[in-house]
């Protein structure tokens, strides 16, 4: 039986939405929905919040998570990399060794316990892979994106078949399928950060989120959309009791 822990990153100092992780959404702090989804999935031996804030720590404890340490401030800036705080968290656990860890970001409130269970099952089906990452089909295809070179613009991605229509002039459904990662979840073997110096490694299992499971709140407009989805019963939040 593999032992797996949940790591929920919740730094203070969000700029686009002040105090985003603890801002109230439908009666509870945003982070509460991720904590409850993790706890109710029954997957994890521990659900741990990594934060630099005493206030966030207190809220995390109130909703059932653990927060046995505070993250150093230099690992809580808007330029700090994931590998920094993940390595710090795993190091702080010391002798409480774990086989795997899952990153569950608070900005994905529509992720359900069943989402986590589905992802965990898929991860276990590929034991020789380094990690699993949530992805979804892009809404804006990179084949229609451009980069500037001097006074000109050039396609970001070229159609390798020079005799065919350039990708920027094709309909979306005629373009090759491309996926973008979302913030819903990641799972990796604990050895991956040590051996690769990254949270993902090299061999990554794709996990395709469904519906609004991967919806990510990063800016104010996202918050408005989330409220609209909830108020119109278009998306469901994890149960909080």
User: pLDDT digit string (tens) for 46-75?
Assistant: 999 999 999 999 999 999 999 999 998 888
133-161 mean pLDDT = 94
pLDDT at 1 over 80: no
User: What is the spatial distance between Cα 146 and Cα 211, in angstroms, rounded to a whole number?
Assistant: 29
173-215 per-position pLDDT tens digit: 999 999 999 999 999 999 999 889 999 999 999 999 999 999 9
From residue 13, give the alpha-carbon distance in Å to each of 54, 60, 80. 13, 17, 12
Q: What is the pLDDT of residue 72?
A: 87
Q: Say which residue, 73 or 221, is predicted with more confidence.
A: 221
Q: Which residues pair with 49 in a beta bridge?
A: 8
How many CA atoms within 13 Å lie on the side-chain side of 105?
A: 21
């Amino acid at each position: 039986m593999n032992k797996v822990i949940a790591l929920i990153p919740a730094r203070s100092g969000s700029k686009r939405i002040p105090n985003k992780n603890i801002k109230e959404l439908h009666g509870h702090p945003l982070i509460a929905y991720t904590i409850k989804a993790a706890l109710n999935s029954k997957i994890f031996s521990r659900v741990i919040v990594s934060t630099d804030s005493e206030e966030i720590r207190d809220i995390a404890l109130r909703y059932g998570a653990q927060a046995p340490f505070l993250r150093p401030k230099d690992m809580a800036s808007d330029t700090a990399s994931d590998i920094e705080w993940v390595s710090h968290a795993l190091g702080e656990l010391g002798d409480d060794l774990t086989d795997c860890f899952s990153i569950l970001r608070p900005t994905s409130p529509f992720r359900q316990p069943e989402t986590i269970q589905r992802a965990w099952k898929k991860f276990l089906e590929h034991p020789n892979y380094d990690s699993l990452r949530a992805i979804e089909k892009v809404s804006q295809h990179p084949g229609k994106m451009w980069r500037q070179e001097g006074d000109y613009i050039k396609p970001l991605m070229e159609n390798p078949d020079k005799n065919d229509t350039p990708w920027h002039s094709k309909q979306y459904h005629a373009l090759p399928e491309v996926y973008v990662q979302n913030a819903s979840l990641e799972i990796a073997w604990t050895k991956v950060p040590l051996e690769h110096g990254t949270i993902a490694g090299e061999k990554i299992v794709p996990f395709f989120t469904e519906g609004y499971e991967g919806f990510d709140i990063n800016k104010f407009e996202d918050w408005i959309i989330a409220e609209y989805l909830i108020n119109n019963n278009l998306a469901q939040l994890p149960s909080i009791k």
